[in-house]
Amino acid sequence: MTISELKQEFIKHYGGREDDIRVFMSPGRVNLIGEHTDYCGGFVFPAAITMGTYIAARKTNDGLIKMRATDLPDYVEADITKLDDYKHLKWGNYQIGVAVELQKRGYTIVPCELLFDDTIPHGGGLSSSAAIEVATALTFATFSNEANGITEPVNMIEMALCGQGSENNYCGVNCGIMDQFASAMGKKDHVIFLDCKKLEDYKLVPLKMDGYKIVISNTNKKRSLADSKYNERRAETEEGFSELKAALPNATCLGDISLEEFEANKHLIKRDIVRQRVTHVIAEDDRVLKSIEALQNGDILEFGRLINASGDSLRDLYEVTGKELDTLVSEARKVDGTIGSRMTGAGFGGCTMSIVREDAVEAFIEQVGKAYNEIIGYPASFYVDDIGDGGHEVK
Ligand code: GLA
């Protein structure tokens, strides 16, 4: 849907004229490497994609947040003085959770009418929820700043934190900061190197992959229980950290522990499964640093090897893949021209990312698509998306 179509659709639902409708956008993300490390205070290396959430928005004065989406029948009307009452919503809870987080930080929630338009597949592992949260946070914060005469630009790192806060405190998902950060802070043609302990120190690394493309493959698997398994993994890493801390009192999180320190102390972790999870996190952190080095040296083949090693570790040690993701990855790696392939995001379904030689992309989609359909019984989807900008108002 174009921006002008979105505004027309808005008027169909809410009436009025076009000139007081604003449009805000925030993207999804693809994580290149550094998976299941963010909530351990580790390193991640994500980029914003160009697909995301668009919000057409208008301020009102009736004390309500009104919300609809272009592709859902749902309509939500939330009373701004009772925002804690909407946790049960199937659609709309992320957004109300964001409003609650903003209120905690002193923002004024201005009543408004909102129409959401997502150009990103829902629940597909490309952070459609972070895109919704950050776009919503940006909309509310812009209106709040205007109401309070604040002229500085909205603090986008704070918007990312409000998005994460909504998931953690309102929606019951213990996610880390990566998705919301990438959605808020992404920059066209750049990848974000983020040490999740020090958000302000993030670095934008130009993505130079001459002759190669990032191909995203979507399992189209309906995810169930993904949130509870995600929370379980996080608890396992916390268990492992508390045992290692006995010998490493200065460490504040797994991200503070080097590969050498881990090797010397891993016997302190009692449960095998927990040691296995922590092994993934510590080695993955190291792979992020090596990947950046490889990219800076123009060594795309080494980057591909690191991507494969990350994927194998997520499958074998962290155990967050499953038949659908494993099939996509193993079929992708068979294609002449693929230099690396792995799951991206939380796992348990969702998407993979592959680095593919430009001239092999068409054959990749054809070959992997055919094999996946034969093995799994329904089709995968493929996207060759560009790296886009983080959250912004569309003028
Ligand atoms: C999900 C979470 C992120 C991160 C990834 C795994 O996308 O929202 O915080 O933990 O999984 O790397």
What are the pLDDT digits (tens) for 139-176? 999 999 999 999 999 999 999 999 999 999 999 889 99
Please, are residues 393 and 22 in contact by the beta-carbon 8 Å criterion?
yes
pLDDT at residue 225 in the model:
60
Instruction: Specify the pTM.
Output: 0.97
The residues near 182 (Cβ < 8 Å, ≥ 6 apart) are: 27, 29, 31, 46, 47, 48, 127, 130, 192, 390
List the residue whose alpha carbon is closest to atom 11 of ligand 1.
346
The answer to whether the CB of 176 is under 6 A from ligand 1 is: yes
Please, are residues 27 and 390 in contact by the beta-carbon 8 Å criterion?
yes
User: Which atom of ligand 1 lies at the shortest distance from residue 129's CA?
Assistant: 8
CA–CA separation, 90 and 41 (whole Å): 30
The answer to whether the CB of 343 is under 6 A from ligand 1 is: no
User: Which atom of ligand 1 lies at the shortest distance from residue 36's CA?
Assistant: 12
The answer to whether the CB of 179 is under 6 A from ligand 1 is: yes
β-bridge partners, 352: 217, 343
pLDDT at residue 224 in the model:
65
Q: Which residues of the chain have pLDDT under 70?
A: 224-225
List the residue whose alpha carbon is closest to atom 9 of ligand 1.
176
pLDDT at residue 222 in the model:
82
CA quadruple 84, 90, 95, 98: dihedral sign: positive
pLDDT at residue 124 in the model:
78
Active site residue 179: yes
Instruction: Count CB atoms within 10 A of the CB of residue 247.
Output: 13
Centre of ligand 1 to C-alpha 371, Å, is 28
CA–CA separation, 21 and 280 (whole Å): 47
3-state secondary structure of 191: strand
